Chains A and B, each alone.
Chain A
Amino acid sequence: MPIATSNFLVPNGTFIVVLLAFIAVLGVIGKYVLPVLNKALTERQEQIRGELEAADKAKADAEEADVERRAVLEQARGQARDMVTQAQTTADQIVTSATAEGQVAHDRIVASAEAEVVVARQAAVEAVTARVGEIVLAAAERVIGREIKASDHQDLIDEAIAAVRAETSGAAASAGGAR
């Protein structure tokens, strides 16, 4: 092939050939390559958008569940607090009523014991009084040397009994005050 030198600034027939070559390349890229690439790009964008949306939704769901969980927890805490308070109140009530019942029982027992004491003391005084009468009479008989009829000196006996009674009841009263 001949080698020739030409003015390098003047185009020649090469122009037409390389222009056609360029247009052919442009055609292939524009018709067969770019659409496929753009389709892939668009599809990927869609996929990414879909995934982002799904992620957003999952996040929103999780937040909602968290809020719900907190609410339930708070409710449970409130209930527990109420239960404790109620239990405390009930316990206080039980203690108070038990104390009151105990006091009542205690008072009743003490009262009945006092009554028994009084009755026993009365019985004892009466027994002692009767016995004192007899002893006085026996002593008087022996001193006087004759039988003394109780009926004849009823006044004296009664007087003595009254004296004894006054003395014992005074003692009982002082014993009651001391208790």
Chain B
Amino acid sequence: MGFGSNLLTPMLGIDISVGDHVQRQVFGLTINMDIVWATLIAGAIVVTLGLILRAKATSGVPGKFQLLWEMAVGAVQTQVDDSIGPRGAKVVPLALTLFIFIFTCNLFEVLGIGAKLEYLPAPTSDINLPLAMALYVIVMVHRAAIKNRGMGGYLKHYVAQPFPPKLFFINAFMNVVEEIVKPVTLTLRLFGNLFAGGLMLSLLAALVIWKLGPAPIGAALSVPFTVLWKVFDMAIGAIQAFIFALLTILYFDTAMAKDEAH
């Protein structure tokens, strides 16, 4: 066996499967139990942090814990004020919850070891949670648009822009595509990033079987690479949580804007 084939062997020899879950059938529906547990635990963490804050919140000098919350709320509030204005006050709880919840879920990936089944997978690395949040957001966005423009205005909006009304057919096509694409991109962006993060951990774990003769090169490299990747992955988790919340705010901005505003 030549040196080259030695190098290639581990990469070819491992089988990394995706989409493995502990599943159970409930009322004919397939439920990924590991994702449900992870989601509930992430939700419990967020709710617990929130209730601790509720108990400790003071208008006096805030502690570090409260300061962290205030920073998050302040950042969301500023973003909403800058893009939507005072009308966007109702968006703040949604955007804040999205950010904190997604960030917490994403952090679970740090616990992963690249196994086929993680004890606590990042729930956002399964398509269901990102899709659920994206659809919830988009439904709320359309609801806000109808509330803002009225049903007539809402429907008219599809055909009246961006081109002159004569080209209403093109307008309608472009707008419908855009509205369908919004939840899809919102879902896939978050899911893809987290899913790829988990895949990366699997690949790094698979590195362990790479040996040059008796030298466990893969095992030696696997540990520092995994540590580096997890640090990087935490940043990705924060960024993706931020992007999800930011896009939510911007979609609401578009929905609540006056007709001429965009």
Contacts and interface: CB of A to CB of B under 8 A. Distances in A.
Contacts of A36: 53-54, 57
Given A4-B21, A6-B21, A44 B47 contact: no
A45 B79 CA distance: 19
A29 interface: yes
Interface string B75-116: 000000000000000001110110011000000000000000
A151 B129 CA distance: 174
B31 A14 contact: yes
Contacts of A38: 73
A2 B22 contact: yes
B132 interface: yes
B31 A12 contact: yes
Report whether over half of chain A's contact residues are helix, strand or loop; otherwise say mixed.
helix
Interface string B23-64: 110110111110110011001001100110110011110100
Interface residues of A, number: 40
B39 A21 contact: yes
B163 interface: no
B127 A25 contact: no
A15 B128 CA distance: 5
Interface stretch (B2-10, B12-20, B149-157): B12-20
A1 interface: yes
B117 interface: yes
Interface in A5-48: 5-19, 21-26, 28-30, 32-34, 36-41, 43-44, 47
Given A40-B59, A41-B73, A14 B36 contact: yes
B131 interface: yes
Q: How large is the interface on B (under 10, 10 to 19, 20 to 34, 35 or more residues)?
A: 35 or more
B70 interface: yes
B69 interface: yes
A178 interface: no
B57 A5 contact: no
Given A28-B47, A37-B70, A10 B59 contact: no
Nearest to B36: A17
B97 A14 contact: no
B136 A34 contact: no
B43 A25 contact: yes
7 contacts: A4-B20, A8-B126, A18-B129, A22-B136, A29-B100, A33-B50, A40-B66
Interface of A: 1-19, 21-26, 28-30, 32-34, 36-41, 43-44, 47
5 closest residue pairs by CB, A with B: A13-B29, A43-B59, A8-B19, A30-B93, A33-B50
